[in-house]
Structure 1
């Protein structure tokens, strides 16, 4: 029963998040990215190249089963989670840079994720589930078009033709997204707790190690002592779980993959909370 509800919650989450981004997206803000040439290039390098390389290296070293491998790979490929902006704000990061990096990562991810999946995901599928590259690419592209690009375009259209309406709708759309995400976490905790408890120790350790590795790699390029650095760290550590869950639901339809993604999200948010405490203690 929850599997059907879970699919609906994932779609609701994807639609509401991207609709909210569209309502709030002002292309004039993208011009501001030109002010952050080098930091932005570092952020893109870390998110789109170094983090995937780190994850692929870990997956190659540890012999995980198919489902957790695909879930971890999806988390690595889907960059730019919106909660990273909230953590950046509380950490006194540079919010113009945070928003710039977030917007560019989201726009690039819509293009790159299907391409990445074609080249990478078959390595982690069992032999009886290996799909044709065009099948994976087509499923990913159509999912992203219907549940990411289309609601983004609708939100942008509302903002363009009725800015006042966009301002009024935005808080409600964000609230729907937040409620959907909370319901996903709570629903899985209630219905899948046995699977969570039974999750192999190696998978849990690897999830924690990858989250820590993401923090360390991003901190090398974005020192916590400066505002732009803090923004880079938080925007990088918070992956786009909405996109990861959407691709998981529409392309693979495997409850175990969804469970691992949500478990990754739990460790990810714990890491961000600890980082936030560190920045508060450092009084940066």
Structure 2
């Protein structure tokens, strides 16, 4: 694969794919949706807090615990500071969880991380890479915020406008775009693995235990907080999925497009597969319990 084709995918295909994902999310939203979970505000606040506070600390701690190389540790940290993804909404639907809660958490964390990701990255990139003597990509906080807003918030807002003006068309488009998140995620991971296969293979054994630990810990925290707050099985599972299934496409966008670094994407490639596997197992584990509560 030529450098020109790699640059084209990183600078054009990945951002457009991410914008389609966020647009499809907006097509399912209306302003009224933000009031439907008022009765569940404790769960919303808990999931929001886990994303902004607990997950970044888990990412740092687990990277240090497993003594990952600077590139792998930074890649793991980038995953931990990303919001929930629309894939988590689809998984929540499949698992008969609380879809309204999942969607609102995805939107809220996506909005907040437009501002938190650039700030955290501006600290993390030199922290991990400068001490290791590696090349430190330049990062402008304001430019990065604007870039994230353009590819996440604007498409969501555009989707909401379409739903407001032509609700029937929005429903039809959303139905066709529903598989977009999964297809884009698999395609981006596949591309990233293809162009960095040697690095992925070399770091598979070193990175996978830490990645698996982060994903399990994230889901366990979401599930545990849900139980502490008295959530039923359906809502507790939803919190576990929302805290454990990150927007891996956004993580890959940050590493491949914003930071232009293939080595940093190794962690996200593996995490994207691990989170889907673990979320599927979680859904199967809770399926009978949710059905019993609903009976």
Tell me the alpha carbon deviations over residues 86-115 of structure 1, each in whole angstroms, 9 at most, x when there is no partner. 222232222232222222222222232222
- Residue 258 in structure 1 maps to residue 265 in structure 2: yes
Normalised TM-score (structure 1): 0.88
Give 1:280's aligned residue: 287
CA distance in 2, matches of 1:25, 1:186: 30
CA distance in 2, matches of 1:9, 1:85: 23
| Residues 12 and 23 of structure 1: CA distance in aligned 2, closer, same or farther (over 3 Å) | same
Query: Where in structure 1 do 4 or more consecutive aligned residues deviate above 6 Å?
Result: none
**Match of residue 62, structure 2, among 38, 58, 61:** 58
**Match of residue 98, structure 2, among 87, 94, 101:** 94
CA distance in 2, matches of 1:38, 1:273: 26
Q: Which structure is higher in RCO with an 8 Å CA cutoff and minimum separation 6?
A: 1
Shift of the alpha carbon at 1:281? Answer: 5.2
Give 1:180's aligned residue: 184
Count matched residues: 282
Q: What are the within-5 Å matches in structure 2 for residues 1-284 of structure 1?
A: 1=1, 3-4=6-7, 6-7=9-10, 8-126=12-130, 127=133, 129-130=135-136, 135-199=139-203, 201-223=205-227, 226-280=233-287, 282=289, 284=292
Cα pair 2:15 2:253 within 8 Å, conserved: yes
Tell me the alpha carbon deviations over residues 7-34 of structure 1, each in whole angstroms, 9 at most, x when there is no partner. 1331122110111122222111101232
CA distance in 1, matches of 2:95, 2:156: 28
Query: Please, which moves more after superposition, 99-108 or 181-190?
Result: 181-190
Partner of 1:78, secondary structure, is coil
Shift of the alpha carbon at 1:238? Answer: 0.5
Cα pair 2:88 2:245 within 8 Å, conserved: yes
- Segments of structure 2 that go 5 or more residues without pairing to the other structure are none
Shift of the alpha carbon at 1:267? Answer: 0.8
Shift of the alpha carbon at 1:241? Answer: 1.3
Query: Please, which moves more after superposition, 155-164 or 123-132?
Result: 123-132
Cα pair 1:143 1:250 within 8 Å, conserved: no
| Residues 34 and 73 of structure 1: CA distance in aligned 2, closer, same or farther (over 3 Å) | same
Tell me the alpha carbon deviations over residues 153-204 of structure 1, each in whole angstroms, 9 at most, x when there is no partner. 3222322332233223223334444433222233344444333221152222
Partner of 1:199, secondary structure, is helix
Tell me the alpha carbon deviations over residues 31-74 of structure 1, each in whole angstroms, 9 at most, x when there is no partner. 12321122222212222111111111122334322321221111
Normalised TM-score (structure 2): 0.85
Partner of 1:186, secondary structure, is helix
Partner of 2:246, secondary structure, is coil
